[in-house]
């Protein structure tokens, strides 16, 4: 028996040894073949005067131990940011390239990401770049040339800015904190752009009006707009809120309200939160405006309608003898007979037909270049989104849906979703002087029905705030 067990033991030992060798070799092979750190986010294609981006690296085994982001140009390689002793499998590294500090010149360059992990491998790898991205260094900011602008602008009013910009990927006009889109306008070889702008009713007279342009490399340029600000006063009013109104409107506008909420608290949610939601919706709709003017000549007001609330009226809401809220009214309230026809104020395309919180059933017509009109509290609508409408065409009937006391049309003019006084756009002379004239001065094609007349003096007109109350 013992003589026969010898070869078996040797065979067993051999198998164990073989498994050990194979196991070790494959373990070492797995160690060696585990990939190193990889870059998972790409830097920009351009480097400007100052460029910020984020490099993201991930270790496939172990932790990220070192990252070095370098910019290489004409064989000169400079480290921009280096992090050593990093821990964790993933690292997000903010990178800020200051081209002047690095001595970069305009032209081609490469952004390299060097990185390694702390994963043990039998053979140490040479340090090398894990990613190299070709970039273009562009240090020239865009050029802005102001062609013309509306001379006099008032808070709650509109204006036009015409300019030319070269080497920009994007150009906007800012009025204080608000940004207005600009649109290519006129012959392509002139490279002109126009922007309709609106000053909010409470515009800070010290806030700048500025054309801002940026290129793909993030280089920015800005130019002030030579416009003079006219003062304008806005009316005040007190709105008495009564119990039957709350009983009718609060459940309609807040169907999901908590059972223990009082009607007055419900009203305040509507008057504050739902009002703010409607403002945000107006901005979103404004961003969809057509890139060319669709309107012609002055806007029209519904026939035989009486004004009973003005633009930017500061309203104090009183309930049971106590002030409960203050809000600004952003339109004109126009009333005639119940369920009277509502005409489109001008040519355009229907941009919105939906109930809109406090506005009730609402239609917004887009007139292009950011200019839109809004019709609220409608009892019925006669158009759908995308319909082209003619000036004066019936788009619905007046009503009292939303937060309305009595049947009327709430009418607004919007520029990029910012409410402005409709008075200016109802006035053919204002349109010729304030929109047509700067276009003519800029040598750009005129908008039909807005042609500036030579005999119109550029006299400084007094701002108007008409106020006729029907009730
Ligand atoms: Zn209103």
Q: How far is the CA of 412 from the centre of ligand 1 (A)?
A: 9
**CA–CA distance, 123 with 128 (Å, rounded to integer):** 15
In a shared domain, residues 295 and 416:
yes
Distance CA 300, CA 440 (A): 24
Show the tokens assigned to 424: 């200016």
Q: Are residues 394 and 285 in the same domain?
A: yes
Choose the final residue of a domain: 137, 164, 182.
Answer: 137
Provide the sign of the torsion angle of the four alpha carbons 397, 401, 405, 410, taken in this order. Answer: negative
Is 145 inside a domain boundary? yes
Q: Determine the distance separating the centroid of ligand 1 and the alpha carbon of 331, expressed in angstroms.
A: 6
What is the DSSP secondary structure assignment for residue 401, as one 8-state letter? T
User: What's the whole-model pTM score?
Assistant: 0.81
Say yes or no: 345 and 412 in one domain.
Answer: yes
What pLDDT does residue 5 have? 66
CA of 270 to the centre of ligand 1 (A): 15
* Backbone phi, psi, residue 92, to 5°: -110, 120
Q: To which H or E segment does residue 164 belong?
A: strand 158-166
Candidates 154, 186, 160; CA nearest to 173 is 160
CA–centroid distance, 286 to ligand 1, in Å, is: 19
Q: Separation of 248 CA from ligand 1 center, angstroms?
A: 18
**338 within a domain of the structure (yes/no):** yes
In a domain, 153, yes or no: yes
Distance 334 CA to ligand 1 centre (A): 8
Ligand 1 centre from 415 Cα, in Å?
18
| Distance from Cα 375 to the centre of ligand 1, integer Å | 10
Cα(193) to centroid of ligand 1, in Å? Answer: 34
The Å distance, Cα 328 to ligand 1 centre, comes to: 10
By the 8 A CB rule, do 219 and 47 touch? no
- Asked whether residue 267 falls in the same domain as residue 384, the answer is yes
Confirm whether 393 is domain-assigned: yes
Last residue of a domain, one of 137, 172, 195: 137
10 found inside a domain: no
**Distance of CA 278 from the midpoint of ligand 1 (Å):** 13
Q: 385, 404, 420: which is the final residue of a domain?
A: 420
Q: How far apart are the first and last CA of the chain?
A: 122
Question: Is 5 part of a structural domain of the chain?
Answer: no
Q: What is the DSSP code string of 75-142? A: TEEEEEEEEES--SSEEEEEEEEEHHHHT--SEEEEEEEEEEE----SSPPPP-EEEEEEEEE--PPP
Q: Closest Cα partner for 309 from 231, 392, 239, 388?
A: 239
**Domain count within the chain:** 3
Same domain, 385 and 453: no
What is the whole-number distance in angstroms between the Cα of residue 332 and the centre of ligand 1? 6
User: Cα(409) to centroid of ligand 1, in Å?
Assistant: 7
299, 320: one domain: yes
Tell whether 277 and 376 lie within a shared domain.
Answer: yes
Distance 387 CA to ligand 1 centre (A): 25
Token duo for residue 4: 């026969």
CA 178–ligand 1 middle distance (angstroms) = 23
Same domain, 87 and 165: no
Q: What is the mean pLDDT of each run of 10 residues along the chain (471 residues)?
A: 70 89 89 87 88 91 90 93 84 93 94 90 82 94 96 95 94 94 93 95 92 94 92 92 94 91 95 96 97 96 87 94 95 92 97 97 98 98 98 97 94 97 96 95 91 58 41 32
H or E element in which residue 223 lies: strand 220-224
412 in the same domain as 282 = yes
Residue of 241, 291, 285, 288 whose CA lies nearest to 267: 241
Centre of ligand 1 to C-alpha 448, Å, is: 30
Question: Pick from 413, 402, 406: which is nearest to 357 by CA?
Answer: 402
Question: CA 148, 154, 157: angle at the middle one, nearest 5?
Answer: 85
pLDDT at 34: 85
Instruction: Quote the ligand 1 centre to 410 CA distance (angstroms).
Output: 4
**CA of residue 287 to ligand 1 center, whole Å:** 23
Q: How far is the CA of 376 from the centre of ligand 1 (A)?
A: 8
Ligand 1 centroid – CA 45 distance (Å): 49
Give the model's pLDDT for residue 463. Answer: 43
CB proximity list for 9: less than 8 A, separation 6 or greater: none
How far apart are the CA of 336 and the centre of ligand 1, in A? Answer: 14
The CA 80 to ligand 1 mean position distance, Å, reads 57
Number of neighbours of residue 124 by Cβ within 10 angstroms: 8
Q: How far is the CA of 310 from the centre of ligand 1 (A)?
A: 8
Most distant CA pair in the chain: distance in Å? 129
Cβ(190)–Cβ(158) under 8 Å? no
Q: Are residues 242 and 173 in the same domain?
A: no
Are 281 and 400 within one domain?
Answer: yes
Q: Within a domain: residue 210?
A: yes
What is the distance between the alpha carbons of residues 289 and 280, in angstroms, rounded to a whole number?
15
Distance 208 CA to ligand 1 centre (A): 30
Q: How many CB atoms lie within 10 A of CB 148?
A: 21
Do 64 and 29 contact (CB within 8 A), yes or no? no
CATH classification of the domain holding 381: 2.70.70.10
Q: How far is CA 32 from CA 117, 124, 440, in A?
A: 13, 9, 73
Structural domain range at position 159: 141-232+427-471
Check whether residue 469 and residue 369 sit in a common domain. no
* Domain assignment of residue 62, yes or no: yes
Ligand 1 center from residue 329 Cα (angstroms): 6
Q: What is the pLDDT of residue 4?
A: 62
Q: Rg of the chain's alpha carbons, rounded to an integer?
A: 33
Domain at 107, CATH number: 2.60.40.10
CA of 135 to the centre of ligand 1 (A): 54
In angstroms, what is the span from residue 471 Cα to ligand 1's centroid?
14
Say if CB 342 and CB 238 are below 8 A apart: no
């Amino acid at each position: 028996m013992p003589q026969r067990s010898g070869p078996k033991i040797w065979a067993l030992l051999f198998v164990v040894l073989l498994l050990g060798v194979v196991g070790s070799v494959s373990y070492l092979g797995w160690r060696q073949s585990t990939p190193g750190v990889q870059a998972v986010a790409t830097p920009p294609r351009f480097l400007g005067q100052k460029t910020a981006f984020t490099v993201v690296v991930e270790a496939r085994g172990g932790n990220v131990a070192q990252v070095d982001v370098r910019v290489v140009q004409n064989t000169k390689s400079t480290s921009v940011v280096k992090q050593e002793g990093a821990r964790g499998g993933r690292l997000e590294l903010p990178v800020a390239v200051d081209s002047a500090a690095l001595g970069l010149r305009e032209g081609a360059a490469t952004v390299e990401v060097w990185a390694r992990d702390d994963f043990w491998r039998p053979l140490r790898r040479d340090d090398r770049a894990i990613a190299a991205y070709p970039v273009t260094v562009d240090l020239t900011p865009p050029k802005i040339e102001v062609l013309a602008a509306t001379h006099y602008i008032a808070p709650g009013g509109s204006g036009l800015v015409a300019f030319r910009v070269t080497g920009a990927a994007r150009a906007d006009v800012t009025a204080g904190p608000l940004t207005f889109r600009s649109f290519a306008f006129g012959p392509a070889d002139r490279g002109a752009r126009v922007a309709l702008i609106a000053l909010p009713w409470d515009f800070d007279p010290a806030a700048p009006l500025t054309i801002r342009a940026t290129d793909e490399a993030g280089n920015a340029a800005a130019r002030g707009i030579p416009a003079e600000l006219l003062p304008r006063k806005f009316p005040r009013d007190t709105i008495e809120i009564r119990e039957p109104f709350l009983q009718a409107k609060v459940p309609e506008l807040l169907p999901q309200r908590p059972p223990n909420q009082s009607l007055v608290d419900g009203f305040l949610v509507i008057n504050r939160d739902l009002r703010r939601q409607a403002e945000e919706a107006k901005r979103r709709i404004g961003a969809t405006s057509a890139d060319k003017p669709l309107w012609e000549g002055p806007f029209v007001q519904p026939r035989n309608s009486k004004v009973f609330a003005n633009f930017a009226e500061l309203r104090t809401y009183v309930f049971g003898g106590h002030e409960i809220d203050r809000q600004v009214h952003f339109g004109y309230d126009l009333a005639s007979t119940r369920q009277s026809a509502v005409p489109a104020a001008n040519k355009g395309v229907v941009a919105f037909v939906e109930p809109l919180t406090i506005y009730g059933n609402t239609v917004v017509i887009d007139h292009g270049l950011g200019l839109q009109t809004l019709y609220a509290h409608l009892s019925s609508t006669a158009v759908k989104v995308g319909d082209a409408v003619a000036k004066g065409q019936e788009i619905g009937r007046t009503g009292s849906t939303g937060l309305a006391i009595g049947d009327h049309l709430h009418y607004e003019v919007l520029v990029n979703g910012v409410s402005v006084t409709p008075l200016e756009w109802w006035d053919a002379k204002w349109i010729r002087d304030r929109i047509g004239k700067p276009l003519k001065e800029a040598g750009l094609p005129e908008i039909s029905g807005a042609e500036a007349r030579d005999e119109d003096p550029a006299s400084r007109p007094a701002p108007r705030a008409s106020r006729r109350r029907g009730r």
